[in-house]
């Protein structure tokens, strides 16, 4: 999936039509991010990985967090920077590959991932989990929202499916202890129709070494 093409309004992959607006662009923070903030799980220096159009990062900055927001799409970050400026908050945006996180070591206390993990293939997931371990400090928290394998198959909107065991194996082998893993049903509008989608909400704690 070419996410920069998607944000430019072009087809991101064979068989997927161009979109004027990505289906996840609600111009508001996601339910999971609000829940994590409300529960007090977000602390210290925060990195939002796969930040897209920046609404989650802006919400966290509005709640007093120092936020770095990373995405692989330069086009998405142009909009994200504009939205942050309009909201009057300071967020540091940068174009970065989440599977490498080059230039970031021992830098963050909380990782926010709202819908990025499930976009990676198996090798990418493992590289990502190791990269966020390297980029964080001892005691860091990793918060992930991703599609679960409970979603029925859809030819029109094919979605990645992440089994519970994949999350536990990938994170555990990279030095993350899963402290909670909740199955959650979320209502989203797709092509003007309300659809119920199954997600995992994950909270993991960083071990001192992988």
How big is the chain by its Cα radius of gyration, in Å? 16
Between residues 76 and 157, the one the model is more confident about: 76
Please list, residue by residue across 92-125, b when 16 or more beta carbons sit within 10 angstroms of its beta carbon and e when fewer do.
Answer: ebeebebbebeebeeebbbbbbbbbbbbbeeeeb
The band of 75, judged by pLDDT with boundaries at 50, 70 and 90, is: very high
DSSP string, 59-85: HHHHTT-EEEEEES-HHHHHHHHHHHH
Q: Which residue shows structure tokens 């989608």?
A: 197
Inform me whether the pLDDT recorded for 196 exceeds 70: yes
What's the pTM value of the predicted model, to 2 decimals?
Answer: 0.91
User: Percent of the chain, pLDDT > 90?
Assistant: 74
Inform me whether the pLDDT recorded for 23 exceeds 80: no
Q: What is the pLDDT of residues 92-144, one digit of tens each?
A: 999 999 999 999 999 999 999 999 999 999 999 999 999 999 999 999 999 99
Q: Which residue shows structure tokens 């199954």?
A: 198
- List, in order of start, the domains of the chain with CATH numbers: 26-206 (3.40.50.150)
């Amino acid at each position: 999936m070419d996410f920069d093409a998607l944000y430019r309004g072009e087809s991101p992959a064979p068989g997927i039509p161009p979109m004027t607006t990505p289906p996840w662009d609600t111009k508001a923070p996601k339910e999971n991010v609000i829940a994590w903030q409300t529960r007090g799980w977000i602390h210290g220096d925060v990195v939002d990985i796969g930040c897209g159009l920046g609404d989650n990062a802006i919400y966290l900055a509005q709640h007093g967090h120092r936020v770095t927001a990373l995405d692989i799409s330069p086009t998405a970050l142009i909009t994200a920077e504009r939205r942050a400026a309009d909201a009057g908050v300071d967020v540091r945006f940068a174009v970065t590959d989440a599977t490498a996180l080059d230039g970031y070591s021992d830098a963050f206390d909380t990782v926010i991932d709202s819908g990025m993990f499930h976009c990676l293939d198996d090798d990418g997931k493992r590289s990502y989990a190791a990269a966020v371990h390297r980029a964080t400090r001892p005691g860091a928290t990793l918060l992930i929202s991703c599609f679960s394998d409970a979603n029925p198959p859809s030819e029109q909107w094919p979605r990645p499916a992440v089994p519970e065991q994949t999350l536990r194996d990938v994170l555990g082998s990279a030095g993350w202890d899963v402290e909670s893993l909740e199955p959650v049903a979320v209502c989203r509008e797709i092509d003007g129709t309300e659809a119920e989608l199954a997600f995992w909400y994950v909270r993991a704690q960083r071990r001192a070494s992988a």
